[in-house]
Amino acid sequence: MKANMFLALNRCNDILFYIKFVDGDLHVVGLDSSILTECLIDEVNKLDRDILFVPRRIVKADEQSLGKCFEFSESVLIGCIPLDTGGARRLAKIHKLSVVVVIPTSIRIVNESQINFMHQSGGRNKYIEIHMQPFLKTFTAPNLNVLIEKSFYLLGNIIERALKLDVGIIVSTASSERSELLSLTHLDIILFYMGFSKRERRLVMEVYPTELLLTWLSYR
């Protein structure tokens, strides 16, 4: 089951364009909850395909404001970007479903030791979600100060460690603009470039997203 767990587009037309042309064989799409209610009413109903839409919300939280990551978690699947190490540790240990989002600013916090904590906390309800678009944006920017190799190395380490310890890890495109849309094939190619085998890529892109979805539905 092909799943793109987060798409940061904020216009119904762009979402339709993505579903129709870019990823024609998609089964699960995660969209921001506000845009989802707006689009479902008129536009998406016209599609003659079965697609599962998952209401998502991405929030930033530090150790004090960690409650934000669990507000309305029954109706929305919340992804949490930890702003400090303490927050990330608490997210790893809490006995609730938690999805830790990795973007270029949080890659220093969500490192291998964080994955170890997630593994030790037990229970299969801790997930790491990598948003690829922000990474690729920094990689393709004409800025010589960005250490592309290092970011790729850290990213590869995170994925490898999570796969090794069987901590749920998913990769979503998180495309925010129509001209910069990424398809799941692009993600597959990038993971292939990073050296992951076919089985590992399937785990990251198909098996774990489905598992996350089932876990979330069982928690509600």
Partner 1 sequence: MIILLIYIALASLVLSLTSIVIVVLLYRDIYRSISSLIDEFGLTLTTRRRYRKVKRYILAKVICSDNIDVKKLGEDIKRHVNSFLGQVVRMECNLTILSLRPDVNRAIFRVVGSSICIKYSLVALSLQHLVAGSCIVIPLRTSGLLSRIKKFINYKR
Distance of alpha carbon 141 from alpha carbon 36, whole angstroms? 30
Q: Does residue number 185 form part of the binding site for partner 1 (CB under 8 A)?
A: yes
Q: Do residues 14 and 178 make contact, with C-beta atoms less than 8 angstroms apart?
A: yes
| Distance of closest approach, residue 18 Cβ to partner 1, in angstroms | 10
Going by C-alpha positions, the residue among 165, 148, 155 that lies closest to residue 132 is 155
Q: Does residue number 11 form part of the binding site for partner 1 (CB under 8 A)?
A: no
Q: Does residue number 73 form part of the binding site for partner 1 (CB under 8 A)?
A: no
Between 21 and 219, name the residue whose CB sits nearer to partner 1: 21
Between 2 and 93, name the residue whose CB sits nearer to partner 1: 2
Among 47, 124, 180, 219, binds partner 1 (CB under 8 A): 180
Of 19-27, 46-54, 99-107, 110-118: span binding partner 1 (CB under 8 A) = 19-27
**205 contact partners, CB below 8 Å, separation of at least 6:** 2, 3, 170, 171, 184, 187, 188, 191
| Distance of closest approach, residue 20 Cβ to partner 1, in angstroms | 10
The strand ranges marked E within 44-179 are 52-61, 77-82, 98-102, 126-131, 168-172
Distance of alpha carbon 195 from alpha carbon 67, whole angstroms? 37
The strand ranges marked E within 8-157 are 28-32, 52-61, 77-82, 98-102, 126-131
Q: Does residue number 149 form part of the binding site for partner 1 (CB under 8 A)?
A: no
Q: Does residue number 72 form part of the binding site for partner 1 (CB under 8 A)?
A: no
Q: Does residue number 25 form part of the binding site for partner 1 (CB under 8 A)?
A: yes
Q: Does residue number 179 form part of the binding site for partner 1 (CB under 8 A)?
A: yes
Q: Does residue number 27 form part of the binding site for partner 1 (CB under 8 A)?
A: no
Distance of alpha carbon 204 from alpha carbon 9, whole angstroms? 22
Enumerate the β-bridge partners of residue 30: 54
Distances (CA, A) of 115 to 18, 67, 92: 32, 21, 8
Q: Does residue number 178 form part of the binding site for partner 1 (CB under 8 A)?
A: yes
Please give the residues from 109 up to 148 whose contact with partner 1 meets the rule CB under 8 A. 136-137, 139-140
Between 21 and 153, name the residue whose CB sits nearer to partner 1: 21
Using CB under 8 A as the criterion, which residues of the chain lie in contact with partner 1 when the complex forms?
Answer: 17, 21-22, 24-25, 136-137, 139-140, 178-183, 185-186, 189-190, 192-193
